Amino acid sequence: MEIERKWMVSGWPALPLLYTEYQEQGYVHSDAPIVRIRMESRQTTQYVLCFKSAGLLTREEIEINISREEFDRLSGLIGLPLIRKTRRVYQLHDGLKLEVNMVDEGLPTQFMYAEVEYQDEAQARAWRPEDNGLDDYLTDDVTEKPGQSMSAYWARTRLTSLPPLQGL
């Protein structure tokens, strides 16, 4: 289960940096469940196949490690440029972590967002940015706004370039 809140942000926060990770991810065209592949590169590189249920604050998430070869084959089946992300992970005062992502840096669609993952919905709903000195940084909470997921961004920026299907 994934329980997280999301904010649109600009710039990196002034917090203790735990690590930086580089990612490439793409989506198999599917509305339910959402199917994502992701390469995560930090000290080592991992390849992940992920299934996500519908939802905004809380979603079922199943991640399966796959090989580089499987990732490359799935990426080839997708046939579209993958989303590139730089993720910086910061330690918060309350023990949680803030993940800040720069998406498609250098492209006209570039944007940044931040997210915090929680143990349960009660913790997520009670958590306040100001308790971690982030009241000026985390101001645009988009957690429960439809269309703010990475799969929605994928559809807006990648799938719109596909030609219409011809005679099925």
What CATH code is carried by the domain that includes residue 110?
A: 2.40.320.10
Residue 166 forms part of a structural domain: no
- List per-residue pLDDT tens for the chain, 168 residues long: 999 999 999 999 999 999 999 999 999 877 678 899 999 999 999 999 999 998 999 999 999 999 999 999 999 999 999 999 999 999 999 999 999 999 999 999 999 999 999 999 999 999 999 999 999 999 999 999 999 999 999 999 998 765 555 544
Query: What domain range includes position 113?
Result: 2-159
- Residue 37 buriedness (CB in 10 A; 0-12 / 13-18 / 19+): buried
Residue 128 forms part of a structural domain: yes
Residue 94 forms part of a structural domain: yes
Residue 167 forms part of a structural domain: no
* Cα dihedral value 148, 92, 51, 152, nearest 10: 10
Q: Is the distance from CB of 124 to CB of 5 less than 8 angstroms? A: yes
Q: Is the distance from CB of 36 to CB of 52 less than 8 angstroms? A: yes
Residue 165 forms part of a structural domain: no
pLDDT score, position 33: 87
pLDDT score, position 160: 79
- How many domains are there within the chain? 1
Residue 168 forms part of a structural domain: no
pLDDT score, position 168: 46
pTM: 0.91
Residue 70 forms part of a structural domain: yes
